[in-house]
Amino acid sequence: MIQPQGDCRFIGYARVSTEGQDLAYQLGRLQAAGCVKIFHEKRSGKNTSGRPQLRKMLKALKPGDVVLATVTDRIARDPLDMLHILEAVKAAGAGLRLLDEPFIDTTSEMADLFLFILGWFARWHRLRILENTAHGREMARQRGVKFGRPRKLGPQEREKIAERRAKGEPCACIARAFGVSESTILRCGVS
Protein backbone atom coordinates (compact mmCIF):
# COMPACT_ATOMS: atom_id res chain seq x y z
CA MET A 1 0.00 0.00 0.00
CA ILE A 2 1.24 3.47 -0.92
CA GLN A 3 1.26 5.83 2.05
CA PRO A 4 -0.25 9.30 1.57
CA GLN A 5 2.02 12.17 2.59
CA GLY A 6 0.68 14.98 4.82
CA ASP A 7 -2.85 16.12 3.95
CA CYS A 8 -2.80 14.11 0.72
CA ARG A 9 -5.94 12.15 -0.18
CA PHE A 10 -5.87 9.29 -2.66
CA ILE A 11 -8.76 9.59 -5.09
CA GLY A 12 -9.34 6.57 -7.33
CA TYR A 13 -10.65 6.37 -10.86
CA ALA A 14 -11.72 3.10 -12.49
CA ARG A 15 -13.28 2.57 -15.90
CA VAL A 16 -14.30 -0.22 -18.22
CA SER A 17 -15.78 0.28 -21.67
CA THR A 18 -18.96 -1.79 -21.50
CA GLU A 19 -21.58 -2.94 -19.02
CA GLY A 20 -20.46 -6.54 -19.55
CA GLN A 21 -16.96 -5.83 -18.26
CA ASP A 22 -15.99 -6.06 -14.60
CA LEU A 23 -14.48 -3.30 -12.46
CA ALA A 24 -13.50 -5.68 -9.63
CA TYR A 25 -9.75 -5.79 -10.35
CA GLN A 26 -9.42 -2.01 -10.59
CA LEU A 27 -11.61 -1.34 -7.55
CA GLY A 28 -9.67 -3.89 -5.50
CA ARG A 29 -6.32 -2.34 -6.45
CA LEU A 30 -7.56 1.19 -5.67
CA GLN A 31 -9.04 0.17 -2.30
CA ALA A 32 -5.82 -1.65 -1.37
CA ALA A 33 -3.86 1.51 -2.28
CA GLY A 34 -5.86 3.49 0.29
CA CYS A 35 -8.25 5.53 -1.85
CA VAL A 36 -10.70 7.52 0.27
CA LYS A 37 -13.07 7.94 -2.69
CA ILE A 38 -13.27 5.99 -5.94
CA PHE A 39 -15.06 7.32 -9.00
CA HIS A 40 -15.97 4.57 -11.45
CA GLU A 41 -17.95 4.16 -14.63
CA LYS A 42 -18.70 1.82 -17.49
CA ARG A 43 -18.15 4.11 -20.44
CA SER A 44 -15.96 4.21 -23.52
CA GLY A 45 -12.57 5.82 -23.04
CA LYS A 46 -12.73 7.31 -26.53
CA ASN A 47 -12.99 10.84 -25.13
CA THR A 48 -13.56 12.66 -21.86
CA SER A 49 -16.86 14.32 -22.77
CA GLY A 50 -18.84 11.09 -22.40
CA ARG A 51 -17.51 10.28 -18.92
CA PRO A 52 -19.45 12.10 -16.19
CA GLN A 53 -17.62 10.38 -13.30
CA LEU A 54 -14.25 11.52 -14.66
CA ARG A 55 -15.50 15.12 -14.86
CA LYS A 56 -16.98 14.83 -11.35
CA MET A 57 -13.67 13.51 -10.00
CA LEU A 58 -11.67 16.31 -11.62
CA LYS A 59 -14.00 18.92 -10.08
CA ALA A 60 -13.70 17.29 -6.63
CA LEU A 61 -9.87 17.43 -6.52
CA LYS A 62 -8.20 19.58 -3.88
CA PRO A 63 -4.58 20.70 -3.60
CA GLY A 64 -2.39 17.82 -2.44
CA ASP A 65 -4.74 15.08 -3.69
CA VAL A 66 -3.34 12.24 -5.78
CA VAL A 67 -5.45 10.56 -8.42
CA LEU A 68 -4.79 6.84 -8.62
CA ALA A 69 -5.74 4.54 -11.50
CA THR A 70 -4.41 1.17 -12.57
CA VAL A 71 -3.14 1.88 -16.10
CA THR A 72 -3.03 4.69 -18.67
CA ASP A 73 -5.93 3.56 -20.84
CA ARG A 74 -8.32 3.58 -17.87
CA ILE A 75 -7.77 7.35 -17.64
CA ALA A 76 -7.48 8.11 -21.37
CA ARG A 77 -6.89 6.20 -24.58
CA ASP A 78 -5.78 9.24 -26.53
CA PRO A 79 -2.58 11.09 -25.57
CA LEU A 80 -4.28 14.45 -26.15
CA ASP A 81 -7.08 13.52 -23.75
CA MET A 82 -4.47 12.39 -21.23
CA LEU A 83 -2.69 15.72 -21.56
CA HIS A 84 -5.95 17.63 -20.95
CA ILE A 85 -6.76 15.47 -17.94
CA LEU A 86 -3.27 16.00 -16.54
CA GLU A 87 -3.67 19.76 -17.02
CA ALA A 88 -6.92 19.65 -15.02
CA VAL A 89 -5.27 17.54 -12.29
CA LYS A 90 -2.30 19.92 -12.13
CA ALA A 91 -4.59 23.01 -12.11
CA ALA A 92 -6.32 21.54 -9.04
CA GLY A 93 -2.95 21.24 -7.30
CA ALA A 94 -3.17 17.47 -7.43
CA GLY A 95 -1.04 14.69 -8.93
CA LEU A 96 -1.55 11.44 -10.81
CA ARG A 97 -0.06 7.98 -10.22
CA LEU A 98 -0.76 4.75 -12.06
CA LEU A 99 -0.51 1.64 -9.89
CA ASP A 100 0.44 -0.82 -12.64
CA GLU A 101 2.62 1.70 -14.52
CA PRO A 102 4.75 3.22 -11.73
CA PHE A 103 6.83 5.24 -14.20
CA ILE A 104 3.76 7.46 -14.66
CA ASP A 105 3.79 9.57 -11.53
CA THR A 106 3.35 13.34 -11.72
CA THR A 107 4.20 13.68 -8.03
CA SER A 108 7.85 12.67 -8.56
CA GLU A 109 10.88 14.70 -9.60
CA MET A 110 10.47 13.27 -13.12
CA ALA A 111 7.00 14.84 -13.53
CA ASP A 112 8.14 17.63 -15.85
CA LEU A 113 10.00 15.19 -18.08
CA PHE A 114 6.99 12.89 -18.19
CA LEU A 115 4.67 15.77 -19.13
CA PHE A 116 7.08 16.96 -21.83
CA ILE A 117 7.29 13.48 -23.36
CA LEU A 118 3.53 13.00 -23.14
CA GLY A 119 2.98 16.41 -24.77
CA TRP A 120 5.38 15.56 -27.57
CA PHE A 121 3.74 12.18 -28.08
CA ALA A 122 0.25 13.73 -28.08
CA ARG A 123 1.33 16.20 -30.76
CA TRP A 124 2.94 13.43 -32.83
CA HIS A 125 -0.15 11.23 -32.39
CA ARG A 126 -2.46 14.06 -33.50
CA LEU A 127 -0.37 14.72 -36.62
CA ARG A 128 -0.48 11.01 -37.50
CA ILE A 129 -4.27 10.98 -37.11
CA LEU A 130 -4.58 14.02 -39.39
CA GLU A 131 -2.28 12.43 -41.99
CA ASN A 132 -4.14 9.12 -41.89
CA THR A 133 -7.53 10.84 -42.12
CA ALA A 134 -6.45 12.97 -45.09
CA HIS A 135 -4.99 9.91 -46.83
CA GLY A 136 -8.14 7.87 -46.20
CA ARG A 137 -10.36 10.67 -47.47
CA GLU A 138 -8.31 10.98 -50.66
CA MET A 139 -8.39 7.23 -51.26
CA ALA A 140 -12.17 7.20 -50.78
CA ARG A 141 -12.57 10.18 -53.10
CA GLN A 142 -10.58 8.31 -55.78
CA ARG A 143 -12.97 5.36 -55.37
CA GLY A 144 -15.90 7.70 -56.01
CA VAL A 145 -17.16 8.07 -52.45
CA LYS A 146 -19.29 11.20 -52.03
CA PHE A 147 -18.80 13.20 -48.84
CA GLY A 148 -21.30 15.27 -46.95
CA ARG A 149 -24.91 14.83 -46.03
CA PRO A 150 -26.91 12.68 -48.45
CA ARG A 151 -29.57 14.50 -50.48
CA LYS A 152 -33.05 14.36 -49.00
CA LEU A 153 -34.61 14.08 -52.43
CA GLY A 154 -33.62 11.88 -55.34
CA PRO A 155 -33.51 12.97 -59.01
CA GLN A 156 -37.09 11.78 -59.72
CA GLU A 157 -38.47 13.62 -56.69
CA ARG A 158 -36.59 16.77 -57.67
CA GLU A 159 -38.06 16.54 -61.17
CA LYS A 160 -41.62 16.20 -59.77
CA ILE A 161 -41.02 19.18 -57.47
CA ALA A 162 -39.82 21.28 -60.42
CA GLU A 163 -42.98 20.33 -62.36
CA ARG A 164 -45.25 21.26 -59.45
CA ARG A 165 -43.45 24.55 -58.89
CA ALA A 166 -43.63 25.35 -62.61
CA LYS A 167 -47.43 24.91 -62.36
CA GLY A 168 -47.44 27.50 -59.55
CA GLU A 169 -48.10 25.22 -56.57
CA PRO A 170 -47.01 26.87 -53.28
CA CYS A 171 -43.71 25.65 -51.82
CA ALA A 172 -45.36 24.99 -48.44
CA CYS A 173 -47.80 22.49 -50.01
CA ILE A 174 -45.02 20.76 -51.94
CA ALA A 175 -42.85 20.60 -48.81
CA ARG A 176 -45.65 18.92 -46.83
CA ALA A 177 -46.26 16.44 -49.62
CA PHE A 178 -42.59 15.40 -49.71
CA GLY A 179 -41.97 15.66 -45.94
CA VAL A 180 -39.21 18.26 -46.22
CA SER A 181 -38.76 21.93 -45.38
CA GLU A 182 -39.73 24.78 -47.69
CA SER A 183 -36.06 25.74 -47.98
CA THR A 184 -35.33 22.28 -49.40
CA ILE A 185 -38.04 22.84 -52.00
CA LEU A 186 -36.64 26.28 -52.84
CA ARG A 187 -33.16 24.80 -53.34
CA CYS A 188 -34.57 22.38 -55.91
CA GLY A 189 -35.25 25.35 -58.23
CA VAL A 190 -37.57 25.52 -61.17
CA SER A 191 -36.47 23.86 -64.40
What are the per-10-residue average pLDDT scores of the chain (191 residues)? 64 91 93 96 82 95 95 83 88 92 79 71 77 87 86 87 90 91 82 46
164 within some domain: yes
Same-domain status, 107 and 180: no
148 within some domain: no
**What is the SS3 assignment for the chain?**
CCCCCCCCCEEEEEEECCCCCCCHHHHHHHHHCCCCEEEEEECCCCCCCCCHHHHHHHHHCCCCCEEEECCHHHHCCCHHHHHHHHHHHHHCCCEEEECCCCCCECCCCCHHHHHHHHHHHHHHHHHHHHHHHHHHHHHHHHCCCCCCCCCCCCHHHHHHHHHHHHCCCCHHHHHHHHCCCHHHHHHHCCC
Domain that residue 184 falls in: 155-188
How far is the CA of 26 from the CAs of 15, 69, 119, in angstroms?
8, 8, 26
pLDDT at residue 107, rounded to an integer: 83
Same-domain status, 82 and 36: yes
Pick the catalytic residue: 17, 49, 108, 183?
Answer: 17
140 within some domain: no
Number of domains into which the chain is organized: 2
Catalytic: 108?
no
Distance CA 14, CA 27 (A): 7
pLDDT at residue 15, rounded to an integer: 93
pLDDT at residue 122, rounded to an integer: 67
pLDDT at residue 6, rounded to an integer: 57
pLDDT at residue 1, rounded to an integer: 46
pLDDT at residue 190, rounded to an integer: 58
pLDDT at residue 97, rounded to an integer: 92
pTM listed for this prediction? 0.60
Same-domain status, 102 and 174: no
171 within some domain: yes
Give the distance from CA 132 to its chain's centroid.
18
Same-domain status, 164 and 114: no
Mean pLDDT score of the chain? 86
pLDDT at residue 191, rounded to an integer: 46
Same-domain status, 50 and 97: yes
